[in-house]
Structure 1
Amino acid sequence: MKCSSLVLGVLATLAAAQTPSPYTDAKSGITFNTLQHSSGMFFGLALPANATGNTDFIATIGGKGTGWSGVSLGGGMLNKLLIVAWPNAQAVVGSFRKTGRYASPAVVTGSFTQTAIANGTYVNSTHWTYTFLCSKCIQTDGTTLKPTDTAPSLGFALNPTAPAQKANPASSVSKHTAQGQAAFDLSKAKSENLEVWKGYAVPEVATGFAG
């Protein structure tokens, strides 16, 4: 095989591995269009069948081991709305982040909120999973998904090293050891069951939920 053919083959394999596809979480029963990274890190989205006027989605993020997983809802890292999560014993900690420089992003607050879904948030012997309702996470300010998006490119990053303060949602995180972007076909994330699934969210345990 020629070198160029070999390189193209490797690139095709990597692209296929980073193409989101439908996945149903066994515990919650929620179906997401999910990116699954070779490290075990994953991120998925679930949207309503009729997205007109919608600003919410259900997300799932997780990985293997004790390190953190992160997603940029705007594609790149800088000045975009980021979601970072990691396990803490049998709990999972999550927060919104934002940064204007290449450094550990600080916690950010706004109209957007995370509300954990108990039956989709857990730590077991193989991986950890944080499932939550992301309210007002679809916006028009350029920091996140837009209402008109059909196949947005979302960024992802991870580091297998746990944050210094695992119980603290505002803990700094080490620089990512892997990162990239993937195009999400939002038509594959839509479901008639979203309103039922949104009912699983419990406002009192938005972050640091013990599953």
Structure 2
Amino acid sequence: MRQTTSIGALALLGLARSVATQTATTPYTDPLTGIDFQAYADPDTGYTFGIALPETVTTDFIGQIIAPLTDGAGWAGVSLGGPMVGPLLLVTWPNEGEALYSFRQATEYANPPVYAGDVAVSLVTIPDGTFVNDTHISLTFLCEGCVDADLSFAPDTASSVAGFAVSDSPPEDPADEATALVFHSYGYGQFGVILANATSAEYDTWAAMATGGSSAPTSSAAAPSTSTSAR
């Protein structure tokens, strides 16, 4: 939480200017971390997603989600395979100044339960690119085990499709990583991801910036209630 609102705003402004008119990712260097992403910014919501890959892709990638908050509240997520139903979902929201997150997987257009699949996935944050302020949340992370042909994309894939969702209302219980999510009425959609342009020889240096253990639920986590619709 060391970043100030002004630094975060400058980062968002630079990203919005570079990719706001695109329907697919374009190059973007995050000023907070120095990471070179293939990034997409939605011009209607201000949601952004970036991805960085090693030159030889295996199972991991570096990602970044930046999303607007309304009165300091809301949530945002990415579908790593495009649609809501089927692929691995990652959602993030603020709680007491921290960016919480969890992996989800939906089998229908309803509140997605915590991911409980056979592939082990985990997330480690990159602190320099992770912050919450009055207007935005940013989650920059190392996603371990997340490259998978069924959950996201195959390691040798040159391009893929991802999806996004943004809500201006908080989850039912922001302190609970398995909380039910409210409907993403603020915005949602899909975009192209140019994976072939996301690789870099600097990947290992950037991945080493990830610190701390994974606090996101993994495949062994229990599913939460599905009382609140989210689609």
The Cα offsets for residues 46-83 of structure 1, whole Å up to 9 and x where unpaired, read as: 001232xx111000012111211111111111121101
* Counterpart residue number, 1:11: none
Counterpart pick for 1:92 among 99, 102, 107: 99
Aligned match for 2:200, one of 169, 174, 191:
191
Which of 59, 62, 66 is the matching residue for 1:58? Answer: 62
Q: 2:34 aligns with which of 29, 33, 46?
A: 29
1:106 to 97, 105, 113: 113
Q: Which consecutive unaligned segments of at least 5 residues does structure 2 have?
A: 1-19, 217-231
8 A Cα contact 2:157 2:196, kept in partner: no
TM-score, normalising length: structure 2: 0.77
Q: Percent identity between the aligned chains?
A: 36
Q: Partners in 2 of 1:143 and 1:19 — Cα distance?
A: 20
Q: Which residue is 2:226 aligned to? A: none
Q: Is the 8 A contact 1:116 1:203 kept in 2?
A: yes
**Larger Rg, first or second structure (1 or 2):** 1
Match of residue 163, structure 1, among 154, 171, 181: 171
Whether the 8 Å contact between 2:122 and 2:214 is mirrored in structure 1 is: no
- Does the alignment pair 1:124 with 2:165? no
Residue-pair matches, total: 191
Please give the TM-score of this superposition, normalised by the length of structure 1.
0.84
Q: Which amino acid aligns with 1:107?
A: V
Write the distance in 2 (CA, Å) between the matches of 1:180 and 1:143.
18
For 2:161 and 2:50, locate their aligned partners in 1 and report how far apart those are by CA, in whole Å. 13
| Aligned residue runs from structure 1 range 122-161, under 5 A | 122-140=131-149, 142-161=150-169
1:172 aligns with 2:177: no
- Distance of 2:172 and 2:148 partners within structure 1: 32
- CA positional deviation for 1:125: 4.5
Match of 1:40 among 33, 37, 46: 46
RMSD: 1.9
C-alpha contact (below 8 Å) 2:54/2:203 kept by paired residues: yes
For the residues of structure 1 that align with 2:161 and 2:214, how far apart are their CA atoms? 29
Structure 1: runs of 5+ lacking an equivalent: 1-14
Deviations 1:117-176 (A, max 9, x none): 111111234422101100111113x22111121110111111111112112111111112
Determine the structure 2 residue equivalent to 1:182. Answer: 191
Q: Is the 8 A contact 2:123 2:214 kept in 1?
A: no
